[in-house]
Amino acid sequence: MLKLVYIFTDGSCLGNPGPGGYSVLLCYKKHKKFLNAGFYLTTNNRMELMGTIIALESLKQSCEVHIATDSQYVKKGIENWIYKWKKYGWKNKKKQPIKNIDLWIRLYKTLKPHQIHWKWIKGHSNHMENIICDKLARLSANNPSFKDTGYRKITSII
């Protein structure tokens, strides 16, 4: 039986592009863990993707994962677009490389071991975990530490 993990993510950008940050809340049984980071120059969509990627990369074993995001870009991308992009060499309908290809490929690689359920939640709608993640993502954007959204080692929750 797979461990059941709930993940809440958010991304923020002060200007687009501009300084940005992501935040993640991982919940397993009674355990909660926050992950966050800020970047000097990025976009909102990159930060939304990074939150999801970092959350999934932090899981050390296969899990049943319920991910809540307020990003339509991430949810539609993962449920509708990503498999078509992969099939056509990570290109869009115009045969151009998709935006944020590095992060979409990285996200795609994180999906395999898990049974994932995606949920879109409306941002700024009194959803407690989303409010917390939003505040932490904005705090991270206001305190950037990284030059780009490249890989950095993180600790595991599971």
Known catalytic residues? Answer: 10-11, 48, 70, 124, 134
Structure tokens at 43: 């976009």
b vs e for 3-38, b when ≥16 Cβ sit within 10 Å of the residue's Cβ?
A: eebbbbbbbbbbeeebbbbbbbbbbbeeeeeebbbb
Beta strands in the chain (DSSP E): 3-13, 18-28, 31-42, 63-69, 115-120
CA distances (Å), origin 115, targets 32, 43, 49, 61, 73? 20, 28, 18, 11, 20
